[in-house]
Amino acid sequence: MTEKELTVPSELAGNRLDAAAAALFDLTRSAVQGLIEKEALLVNGKSADKKQKVKEGDVLLLLLPDPEPCDVLPQNIPLEIVYEDEHLAVVNKPKGMVVHPAAGNPDGTLVNALLYHLDSLSGINGVLRPGIVHRIDKNTSGLLMVAKNDKAHLHLSGQIKEHSFFRQYECIVIGRMKEPTGEIDAPIGRHPVKRQQMAIVKDGRQALTRYEVLGEYAGFSHLKCTLYTGRTHQIRVHLSSIGHPILGDSLYGGGSTPFEKKHGALLTEQTLHAKTLGFIHPATGQYMEFTSKLPDYFKKLLEILKNN
């Protein structure tokens, strides 16, 4: 069993225990609720209810159980492993692959592939998400870092919480940007009506994205985006909010231009690639950074735009 102790800061005071612990330990709220039910999350040394409000200075002790037997089956799915050691792995997820099993996607996921190709995975996020420290959307390609044990998982998720995890993406957006560089600082939360979407909402979680124009074409721009927070659909929501939805992103305003209709065979939702990933190695303390090439469909779209 692994133990981790953190103190509630002033900005989380007044929140429900499950919400505050999820933010502090960088776990899903459902995972935290499961730990609370098992009395594996203590407040000031005592068991607590998930709905109770936490106070500044409360000490939360997380007791991480040994990994449960996994019902998700390993599958021999081709997987590009960019780097691997005894603590972690970096993989290059293809566009169209779901990260972990869920309703509608019981198998064929990245987790199924990881269970086949790697000798161990962390168990903090439960049996459906072993090893998964952070996620990218099904139709976003690129680099993901995977934890092979709980100690590495906690260290790496802590870096995400502290915003010291470096993540840089490339995308193609509709329209030409007014400025060559820019910053979008707007809170993101669940859309109040369209529950499958995220949106800029007043009481959402703080989210910051910086972008740089890499190329401009007739009606489109090629951008590099750096994440300083990691909210669900962050880049997609932020760029859509300033009038530049990502090419092919039908959920957030893309997908209907003449160019997209003409080249629909190349566009399976958003043209977004997680290109660069950097972090401090949990065992050595050394900074590591990895970069992946743009996928073929992305390069083909750029070539078409350049020749238009």
The residues pairing with 12 across neighbouring beta strands, listed in sequence order, are none
Per-residue pLDDT at 207: 95
pTM: 0.79
Digit-coded pLDDT (tens) for 18-30: 999 988 887 777 7
Across the range 250-260, mean pLDDT stands at 95
The residues pairing with 212 across neighbouring beta strands, listed in sequence order, are 181, 224
Radius of gyration for the alpha carbons in the chain, expressed in angstroms and rounded: 20
Q: How many CB atoms lie within 10 A of CB 132?
A: 24
pLDDT category at 47 given cuts 50, 70, 90 is confident
Digit-coded pLDDT (tens) for 290-305: 999 999 999 999 999 9
Per-residue pLDDT at 247: 98
User: Is the model's pLDDT at 31 over the cut of 80?
Assistant: no
Rounded mean pLDDT of the chain? Answer: 92
User: Is the model's pLDDT at 221 over the cut of 70?
Assistant: yes
Fold agreement (80-161, 166-307)? yes
Of 58, 137, 150, 249, the active-site residue reads 137
**What is the CATH T-level fold of the domain 2-64, as seen in this structure?**
3.10.290
150 is an active site residue: no
Backbone φ, ψ for residue 295 (5° rounding): -65, 160
Per-residue pLDDT at 1: 62
Architecture field, domain 166-307: 2-Layer Sandwich (3.30)
Per-residue pLDDT at 65: 60
Per-residue pLDDT at 168: 98
User: Is the model's pLDDT at 164 over the cut of 90?
Assistant: no
* Domain range summary for the chain, segments of one domain joined by +: 2-64, 80-161, 166-307
User: Is the model's pLDDT at 45 over the cut of 60?
Assistant: yes
Per-residue pLDDT at 70: 55
Q: Which residue has the tokens 């760029």?
A: 239
CB 279 within 8 A of CB 166: yes
Digit-coded pLDDT (tens) for 50-87: 899 999 999 999 887 655 555 788 999 999 999 999 99
**CATH class assigned to 80-161:** alpha beta
- 40-76 residues labelled b (16+ CB within 10 A) or e (exposed): bbbbeeeebebeeebeeebebebebeebeeeebeebe
C-alpha distances (whole Å) from 130 to each of 63, 69, 111, 133 are 17, 11, 7, 9
